[in-house]
């Protein structure tokens, strides 16, 4: 399909979907299946904007020689909107789907211009045996890190557990798995994922289909994950392998734990990835993280975290960085929160590049509303 053919549809599709959703209540009154109490359709989302001042970082939080001031989207929680639905098929079986799109709330532009629903696009079936979902969805690494990240998955573009451990920003310049991008492998197209919950255990298995013509292995992926939660204690881990178009491998693993102790939540995690980047070259990255969140008041949470990132590359000196991030969050209501954030990064062995500052720091303040 050429660009000229796709453009009109690219402009109209989101508006068409919104129009259909807006008409849903009236449609439900005249359609027996839609009026069934066990069927549901939900429009949801998050709008998060904050003002940020940084030294040694660009507005996109990359190492920089100077300072920046920006209005940033997704400092607390990634701005996005989506629609999800379920239908009771009887006999304990349910059909479900999820479509979700990231957005840059500061400009109104989609976060990913090449995909309408870059964050989720899947349909599945659910029963007493678990859930099977097919489409674009998060990997087992991303699912495993979510309940044990010390920063509680805040500040996605700056959080090393999201970027490095869960491979949202692996920085390798190669597409591993059917990610649809050469910058990260946090989500995969054309994937099949099973999730089963048995008592306190949650088991996951994922198969990513590369869909390379006449071949089965290029851009494919396989992963498994296991988590256990009991009371205030959670432990979660996963491993996943990704292939590129030339059958080079990227192997990722993560293991972490969290514990809720009264008004304090403690969390720690270790992540590792090793990628073949050439015939005789590799890049290995490791992340150690720890942090605590204290509910200082019923409406006020204070979080302090530390991340240590190490990188080894064939033919280059080992490098990395240490990053401290602190968050204060005040709940104005169940859906609206204001927040303030402080961070400091110390680069090691020139990780930031010769022209950039050896340390970086930033301060942010903003508001997040969910619907």
pLDDT in tens, 283-321: 999 999 999 999 999 999 999 999 999 999 999 999 999
Distance of alpha carbon 152 from alpha carbon 233, whole angstroms? 15
Distance of alpha carbon 44 from alpha carbon 75, whole angstroms? 19
pTM summary value: 0.89
Distance of alpha carbon 268 from alpha carbon 295, whole angstroms? 18
69-116 per-position pLDDT tens digit: 999 999 999 999 999 999 999 999 999 999 999 999 999 999 998 999
Residue 60, burial from CB neighbour count under 10 angstroms (0-12, 13-18, 19+): exposed
Residue 174, burial from CB neighbour count under 10 angstroms (0-12, 13-18, 19+): buried
129-143 per-position pLDDT tens digit: 999 999 999 999 999
| Confidence check: pLDDT of 10 > 60 | no
Nearest residue to 53 via CA among 37, 64, 44: 64
Tell me how many degrees the CA angle 67-71-75 measures, rounded to the nearest 5.
95
CA dihedral 106, 107, 110, 112 (to 10 degrees): -80
| Confidence check: pLDDT of 23 > 70 | no
Q: What is the pLDDT of residue 2?
A: 38
């Amino acid at each position: 399909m050429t660009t000229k053919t796709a453009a009109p549809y690219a402009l109209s599709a989101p508006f068409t979907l919104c129009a259909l959703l807006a008409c849903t209540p009236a449609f439900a009154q005249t359609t027996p299946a839609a009026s069934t109490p066990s069927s549901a359709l939900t429009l949801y989302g998050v709008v998060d904007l904050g003002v940020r001042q940084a030294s040694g970082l660009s507005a996109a939080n990359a190492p920089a020689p100077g300072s920046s001031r920006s209005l940033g989207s997704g400092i607390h929680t990634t701005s996005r909107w989506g629609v999800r639905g379920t239908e009771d098929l009887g006999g304990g079986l349910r059909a479900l789907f999820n479509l979700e799109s990231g957005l840059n709330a500061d400009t109104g532009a989609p976060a990913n211009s090449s995909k309408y629903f870059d964050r989720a696009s899947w349909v599945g079936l659910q029963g007493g045996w678990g859930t099977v979902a097919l489409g674009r969805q998060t990997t087992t690494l991303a699912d495993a890190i979510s309940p044990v990240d010390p920063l509680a998955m805040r500040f996605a573009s700056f959080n090393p557990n999201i970027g490095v451990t869960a491979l949202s920003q692996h920085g390798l310049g190669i597409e591993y798995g059917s990610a649809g991008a050469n910058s990260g492998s946090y989500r995969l197209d054309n994937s099949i994922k099973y999730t089963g919950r048995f008592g306190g255990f949650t088991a996951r298995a994922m198969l990513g289909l590369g869909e390379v013509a006449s071949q089965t292995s290029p851009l494919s992926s396989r992963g498994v994950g296991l988590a256990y939660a009991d009371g205030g204690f959670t432990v979660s881990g996963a491993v996943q392998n990704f292939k590129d178009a030339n059958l080079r491998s990227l192997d990722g693993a993560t293991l972490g734990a969290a514990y809720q102790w009264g008004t304090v939540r403690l969390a720690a995690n270790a992540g590792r990835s090793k990628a073949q980047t050439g015939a005789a070259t590799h890049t290995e990255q490791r992340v150690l993280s720890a942090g605590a969140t204290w509910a200082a008041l019923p409406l006020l949470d204070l979080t302090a975290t530390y991340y240590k990132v190490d990188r080894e590359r064939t033919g280059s000196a080992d490098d990395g960085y240490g990053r401290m991030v602190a968050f204060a969050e005040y709940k104005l209501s169940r859906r609206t929160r204001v927040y303030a954030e402080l961070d400091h990064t110390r680069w090691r062995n020139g990780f930031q590049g010769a022209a950039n500052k050896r340390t970086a720091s930033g301060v942010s303040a903003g508001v997040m509303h969910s619907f």
